[in-house]
Structure 1
Amino acid sequence: MKLLITGGAGFVGTRLAQALLARGTLAGRRIETLVLADQVAPRAELLADPRVKARTGALLAQCAALRDEPFDGVFHLASAVSGECEADFELGLRSNLDSTRALFDALRATVQHGAPVPRLVFSSSVAVFGPDAAVPLPPRVADDTLPAPQTSYGTHKLMCEYLLADYSRKGFIDGRAARLMTVTVRPGRPNGAASSFFSGIIREPLAGDEAVCPVSANVCHPVASPARTVEGLIAVYEASREAFHGRLAMNLPALNVCVGQMLDALEEVAGRAVRERVRFESDERIAGIVANWPKAADAARAARLGLKPDGSFTDIVRQYIADCEAAPDGAAALKGLAR
């Protein structure tokens, strides 16, 4: 089979590609070609695999050529993130809405020219939920909670969910949307997401650097480790349409935690000195965005697919440390960890 991952050189895209290549099969079929489309080239170790092909450049510019390249399956991860969408409205529309519709239309063209209908997983977000005066946000958002996004990013994700459902209804794609929780701990440099600090307050102290937390310790939010996120994307792809019971958008499992609990876990694993590298400094812009996000989430439908949340945030911290220890250049990421 031939697969496409948009955003395939990003953090989640890279982890997903590695998992698929290690498995060798998806939904009972052998993976022969894995195309990674992104604005930057994939890692060298991925390109060394003869099954991997790269498509480098803006997705919107690539979609015309994709009309002549049928795929059996697609993971659509490419997106401008929350902070970017708030800061640059046009960028958000172009990267999230325009590119998604262009991708769906490219896939539709291949089907209309006789190719099989591709299965597509769209990475949506818990940001589709938000407070609304008419429909108050519940303590935990569930699959049947009314989406009411209060950010451009969440609005784009919800609009793409509706597009996916309509293209699927028409038979142009076999679509399903996985609503990702905030993925932490992400390695590397902070990105433009408003949620970036959820990784930064763990990542930077472990590297020996100071981290600034822009919200209070009482702020709570649903999160998931990279491993659980990739596991969820693959399970959503492999699930039958009947397993969705009609609706194509599904919450992935969440570990519901508060910032203070995250720091408690960091201290438990790495010690008090590492925790003390985090200082609180309010950022009204970030705090305002986060205030409109869910405090916790449930994922009953994902549980029926066998998916589970992380056991604890301590487990997530330990997973991040283990990942760094296994990486060739991971020592620098842990130079602040007392042994």
Structure 2
Amino acid sequence: MNINYYYRNKKTGFSIGVVFDTIVNEIGINNQVIRTFLPYPNATIPSILKNGWFAKNEEKNNYINHITGDVHYLLWFLRRRKTIVTVHDIMYYHYLKGIKKKIWKLLYITPLKRAAHVTFISDFAYKQVSEVINLDMKKVHIIPNPVDSSFTYSPKEFNVKKPIILHIGTLERKNLERTIEALDGIDCHLRIIGELKEQTIDLLKRHHIEYSNGINLTHEEIVTEYRNADVINFPSLFEGFGMPIIEGQATGRIVITSNLSPMKEVAGNGAILINPYSAEDIRNAYLSVIQNESIREQLINEGLKNIENYKVRKVVQQYTDLYKEIYENID
């Protein structure tokens, strides 16, 4: 089979690209694949039209189109019978009002009806869309993100005296400030990946948190961060999926994450679930992990079991089944 993967412009962000490269690399072993990156990073109407026209010109005969996420508007330009789209989330839609909200719906949500198949990375992502439009259930599929094969089990003796806590991401929804408040008085080292604001640095100092900071890390460096950590901290307020959960579990680390969807479903039994709006709840989770070896062992074992659901070959097989169905109908 031949598949043309459409990616958003690299300047827009790398997270979706990293996830799909894991999938594309595996599918490319037995199939012909092309990666097509859009030329314009902006979401202005002129840029959208230019990207759409570019995508149309890059459409290949006898190739399936797969929109890997974020640029759903390409469905207005590509042949619908041969195009599949993966939806990660539509969270931005809920922050908009008035005419901007209507335009965003027209560009990013309504065109999903045109796809031959629509895959969602979680039930939560599907629920978001289903509350806005109705989709033909024959076209809807829940296919989770896979964990990159470079995240492998790496045993490490837990540092009870001063655990290293890895926190990836410094956007407000990543809940770093509440984590800092929760860790006040707990002897630990907070390793933060992402750019820090001055107010966050002031908060770290005020709560006497020992920390270090890394930015612009390579994929290999991120993998090393997981291996060096004792706990993966992911009390996010909202996500479309939550890759650090399964990356931490695959590495064999303790994961603390939110009791909200989709994080709680992604984590299975392999994480401590906390109320992300409660610093006290986050704090109690850390105290139980540090003080109780049996809890740590149970979490690691359950995490390694859970990760089997996110192995790349299992995810690829689900996509391959959809490709075969579409391929049979390409004229």
TM range (shorter): 0.3 to 0.5
TM-score, scaled relative to structure 1: 0.36
TM-score, scaled relative to structure 2: 0.37
